[in-house]
Amino acid sequence: MMTPTATHEPQRLAPWLAGLPLAAVLWVLLYAHLTEIADLAIAALGLSRATHLGEAVHFFLYDTPKVLLLLTGIVFLMGVIQTFFAPERTRALLAGRRLGVGNAMAASLGIVTPFCSCSAVPLFIGFVSAGVPLGVTFSFLIAAPMVNEVALALLLGLFGWKVALLYLGLGLLVAIVAGLVIGELKMERHLEDWVRAIHLGEATAASGSDQRWPERLHAGLKHVREIVGRVWPYVLIGIGLGALIHGYVPEDFMAAFMGRDVWWAVPTAVVLGVPMYTNAAGIIPIVEALIGKGAALGTTLAFMMSVIALSAPEMLILRKVLKWPLIATFVAVVATGILLVGYVFNLVL
């Protein structure tokens, strides 16, 4: 028999106690002086903010460190939080929950439970067969991609905490309501037969529930390496394109077809988003620049959410466990939710 955890070399806490506060102080110092640093940098380059080029370069030099700092901070925290919510634990928390409270819990847990998109099907089966109601399971599955930590970090950095909070709140709301609706429709018969036949008895060895702090902090660091290591080129490209738009595109250029007065812009954005696959890291900096030129935030957020939560590849994966009527309902409910988010953002901001 194997005892895989026993062979783990224990991580020590002491280096963390020294390194973490140091990193935090450095982080805060840098974050507090972003404008000065960007000002100094363009002065050193011999540029002025009065020119197109100077303004574009300033935008890039200010936004890049800001976004990367926020990204690293938030992704690290998420990595640590996720060690408390192994999928098995989440399932145990949700099993037998009633609709309503269960949906709210599921949506929140969807954000903090770690799993990659290809685990959607095993998770789905694991939940349903352990007695988590179908509607509650859907709340979980919708919230997970919809409220995404990379998007949250970018929105916080580029638009401030009000927009970030609104994104978080509305994303949760869509997940909760969509789950409630799917639960009310009693669509259990539209699960594939083999899924209904599976009865997952005992959960497999829960990973991560017995970790200690050094391991949790280490997991946060690993998370930063994986996620920031993967998305930073997109962030740079996005901010670079954003900087060009910011510096060179005339004011109000976008207002004509992406402005808040264009009523059909939101549904068009949602429909365009479905066949696409992209990530928040590259698109949000571009969005920031477009908004400066008259595009509406709600329209662009609706586009982003539809790209992430309704992508065609995701549907094909779900088809392995769900029959068409349930997939169609899922798409319709989530799309309606995203439309509402788009209109609400356009109205409020």
Partner 1 sequence: MKHVKILGTGCRNCQTTLKLVEEVARAQGVEIELEKVDQIQDIMQYRLMATPGVVIDEEVVHSGGVPDRKKIEGWFAPSA
* Binding region for partner 1 (CB under 8 A): 1-2, 4, 6-9, 86-88, 91, 114-119, 121-123, 125-126, 194, 198, 200-205, 207, 317, 320-321
User: Which residue lies nearer to partner 1 by CB, 204 or 324?
Assistant: 204
CB of 230 to partner 1, least distance (A): 9
User: Which residue lies nearer to partner 1 by CB, 8 or 33?
Assistant: 8
User: Which residue lies nearer to partner 1 by CB, 10 or 250?
Assistant: 10
Cβ distance 240 to 248 under 8 Å? no
CB of 225 to partner 1, least distance (A): 11
The helix/strand count (H/E) of the chain reads as 17, 0
In 81-178, where do the E strands start and end? none
CB of 239 to partner 1, least distance (A): 25
Could you tell me how far CA 73 lies from the centroid of its own chain? 15
CB of 122 to partner 1, least distance (A): 6
CB of 196 to partner 1, least distance (A): 12
Cβ distance 239 to 64 under 8 Å? yes
CB of 320 to partner 1, least distance (A): 5
User: Which residue lies nearer to partner 1 by CB, 39 or 314?
Assistant: 314
DSSP 117: G
User: Which residue lies nearer to partner 1 by CB, 35 or 119?
Assistant: 119
User: Which residue lies nearer to partner 1 by CB, 125 or 341?
Assistant: 125
Q: In whole angstroms, what is the distance from residue 21 CA to residue 44 CA? A: 32
CB of 205 to partner 1, least distance (A): 7
Cβ distance 137 to 90 under 8 Å? no
In 33-183, where do the E strands start and end? none
Q: What is the DSSP string of 162-203?
A: HHHHHHHHHHHHHHHHHHHHHHHTT-GGGB-HHHHH----SP
Q: Which residues make Cβ contacts (< 8 Å) with residue 178, sequence separation at least 6?
A: 138, 139, 142, 330, 333, 334, 337
Three-point CA angle 83, 85, 88, nearest 5°: 120
Report the interhelical angle of 87-94 vs 101-112 (nearest 10°): 170
CB of 101 to partner 1, least distance (A): 22
User: Which residue lies nearer to partner 1 by CB, 78 or 291?
Assistant: 78
User: Which residue lies nearer to partner 1 by CB, 162 or 212?
Assistant: 212
